[in-house]
Amino acid sequence: MRNEKEKILIIGSGLAGLSAALECALRSKECVLVSSAPAQRAQSVMAEGGINAALDTKGESDSPKEHFQDTMKAGCFLADGEAVRGMTEAAPGIVKSLKDMGVCFNLDKNGDPDLRNFGGQKKKRTAFAKSDTGKQIMTALTDEVRKYEASGMVTRLMNHSFETLTFTTPDRQICAGCLIRDDYTGEILSFKSSAVIIATGGMHGLFGNTTGSKLNTGEAAAELYRLGAEITNPEFIQYHPTTVSSGGKRMLISEAARGEGGRLFAMKETEKWYFMEEKYPELGNLMPRDITAREIWNVQKNFPVFLDMTHLPDDIMEKKLSGIVEDCITYLNLDLRKDPVPVEPGIHYFMGGLNADRQHMTNIQGLFAAGECCGLYHGANRLGGNSLLGAIYGGRVAGENACKYSEESTFASGSAHIYDDLPGKCVISDADRELLQRTLGKCMGVVRNEKELQAGLEIIRGLEGDLARLGEAMCSAALERRESRGAHFREDHPDIREEFCKNTVLRR
């Protein structure tokens, strides 16, 4: 029996979730878009610097092939090459379609999206809307999805959270839908569907004080991990080189600051030491994030590190970086046009997450993942400008394949029995969550070693709750990877090792 009437379930209304919903609508497939908050609150609105696409409008003969090579190289060749090829080839078309949707990109004199330099890429390839690229893209995509909400193609459930996955049989092989909690009333609702797309963002809740949204608790991934979904590469955590402490959290100073000419220096007594430019004459301040973060981490042991933008023309500050200038005035009482800002690395992005194939399906049949919760495109280290791209492209691919899968599925959503293991779910206590965050923060730093990871693992093993099990997976993956690759640096194993050139895959 074919399932033409079945609705796809999408959990999360950030960029990946919206992109998946749009793809379903374009394929005339109905979907239910579930999220704990409106799209305006999603972490995607916080993205600042831009979105990568080899538009080749700067006379530098750029190409998707070079974008592919830069992405693979920055990720230390762990990402799936075919998946990355698909993403980098689709990128120019994605940016053009965003422009057609009304995204207010900064434009060049020909009316094309202007491009800026970004870390790990020699050519100008990052399209941007001042330093609020995420917000501007999210507004356009939210408008676009609203059109389908009004026509009934997309059913929107706000203030509802993912509770658990349901299955066709008790052995948890094939997805049958979700249990969803109404956050306002506490009521649990059951939705049947052969295809579920998880787009719940990164595992920021394992640490608490990242640059990410407080809504990204990591609990959906922890629940799916409990139920048998595989987690890949959790040890690869991106520390953004330039963050500041603000309000009990990390605040990001976008890479755009350096892309537009900002310089890093350390204050060596009375002398400014431009350590990045000295050590890396070619890319200088725009080395990939893993390397820049590590250099700052090391230099900082002896000298405070600053980001200097005081030499940039007013025109660039006004037209390209005004958001960063405003944020620093509001939160630091510091005017970047007059003073350098003290910076340090802070957790920004999770390269790893739910393990998915090129069709974005996880090892649970019918369960798809997209966006930061899915570890597919970024390998051991993500290029700046590839997260917005990965979320849009990944959402699109997941949507396409979820539609195809649903059409071919023999699971009849109206009648089949479904099974859930809600009673087996174990929510972490506030005290244990706090200890988990503190422990992971200590042992999963920019530079790691066996002693600290082992000590951290022992503490985490003593904690109850599914989130602690996800943290345990992360910690043990970092312990097992006895090499240094991309964002994972082990001071006791400082070299890259051929036998570790493979993805970590963990199953509870």
Is residue 331 at the binding interface for another protein, with CB under 8 A as the rule?
Answer: yes
Compute the least distance from the CB of residue 149 to another protein, in Å.
6
Binding range to another protein, per CB under 8 A, among 221-229, 289-297, 324-332, 412-420: 324-332
| Nearer Cβ to another protein (204/294) | 204
Q: Tokens 């992005």 belong to which residue? A: 349
289 is catalytic: yes
Compute the least distance from the CB of residue 195 to another protein, in Å.
25
Are 24 and 212 contacting, i.e. CB atoms less than 8 angstroms apart? no
Binding range to another protein, per CB under 8 A, among 140-148, 187-195, 394-402, 410-418: 140-148
- Candidate residues 27, 30, 41, 496; the one interacting with another protein per rule CB under 8 A: 41
Is residue 429 at the binding interface for another protein, with CB under 8 A as the rule?
Answer: no
User: How many residues sit in the footprint of another protein (CB under 8 A)?
Assistant: 48
Is residue 38 at the binding interface for another protein, with CB under 8 A as the rule?
Answer: yes
Q: Quickly count: other Cβ atoms within 10 Å of residue 113's Cβ.
A: 23
In angstroms, rounded to a whole number, what is the distance separating the alpha carbons of residues 48 and 489? Answer: 26
Is residue 245 at the binding interface for another protein, with CB under 8 A as the rule?
Answer: no
Is residue 214 at the binding interface for another protein, with CB under 8 A as the rule?
Answer: yes
Are 185 and 159 contacting, i.e. CB atoms less than 8 angstroms apart? no
353-356 contacts at long range (C-beta below 8 A, 24 or more positions apart): 353/202, 353/203, 353/221, 353/231, 353/232, 353/233, 353/234, 354/198, 354/221, 354/224, 354/229, 354/230, 354/231, 354/232, 355/229, 355/230, 355/231, 355/232, 355/503, 355/505, 356/398
Is residue 132 at the binding interface for another protein, with CB under 8 A as the rule?
Answer: yes
Residue 57 CA, chain-centre distance (Å), reads 27
| Nearer Cβ to another protein (143/480) | 143
Is residue 146 at the binding interface for another protein, with CB under 8 A as the rule?
Answer: yes
Is residue 215 at the binding interface for another protein, with CB under 8 A as the rule?
Answer: yes
Is residue 181 at the binding interface for another protein, with CB under 8 A as the rule?
Answer: no
Is residue 144 at the binding interface for another protein, with CB under 8 A as the rule?
Answer: yes
Is residue 136 at the binding interface for another protein, with CB under 8 A as the rule?
Answer: yes
In angstroms, rounded to a whole number, what is the distance separating the alpha carbons of residues 291 and 119? Answer: 10
Is residue 100 at the binding interface for another protein, with CB under 8 A as the rule?
Answer: yes
Q: Which of 125, 226, 250, 289 is catalytic?
A: 289
Q: Tokens 């990939």 belong to which residue? A: 288
Binding range to another protein, per CB under 8 A, among 60-68, 304-312, 325-333, 374-382: 325-333
Is residue 102 at the binding interface for another protein, with CB under 8 A as the rule?
Answer: yes
Is residue 129 at the binding interface for another protein, with CB under 8 A as the rule?
Answer: yes
Phi, psi of 164 (to 5 degrees): -165, 170
E strands, 377-452, are: none
Is residue 387 at the binding interface for another protein, with CB under 8 A as the rule?
Answer: no
DSSP for 226-259, please give it. HTT--EE-TT-EEEEEEEEEETTEEEE--THHHH
Is residue 235 at the binding interface for another protein, with CB under 8 A as the rule?
Answer: no
Largest Cα–Cα distance in the chain?
76
| Nearer Cβ to another protein (117/243) | 243
Are 507 and 488 contacting, i.e. CB atoms less than 8 angstroms apart? no
Q: Which of 104, 107, 126, 106 is nearest to 116 (CA)?
A: 126
Is residue 334 at the binding interface for another protein, with CB under 8 A as the rule?
Answer: no
Compute the least distance from the CB of residue 380 to another protein, in Å.
27
In angstroms, rounded to a whole number, what is the distance separating the alpha carbons of residues 461 and 471? Answer: 9
Compute the least distance from the CB of residue 16 to another protein, in Å.
16
Compute the least distance from the CB of residue 4 to another protein, in Å.
26
| Nearer Cβ to another protein (422/427) | 427
Phi, psi of 394 (to 5 degrees): -60, -40
Is residue 316 at the binding interface for another protein, with CB under 8 A as the rule?
Answer: no
State the catalytic residues.
289
The contact set with another protein (CB under 8 A) reads: 37-38, 40-43, 45-46, 99-104, 107, 111, 129-130, 132, 135-136, 139-140, 143-144, 146-147, 149-150, 156, 158-159, 184, 213-215, 246-249, 251, 326-327, 330-331, 333, 431, 434
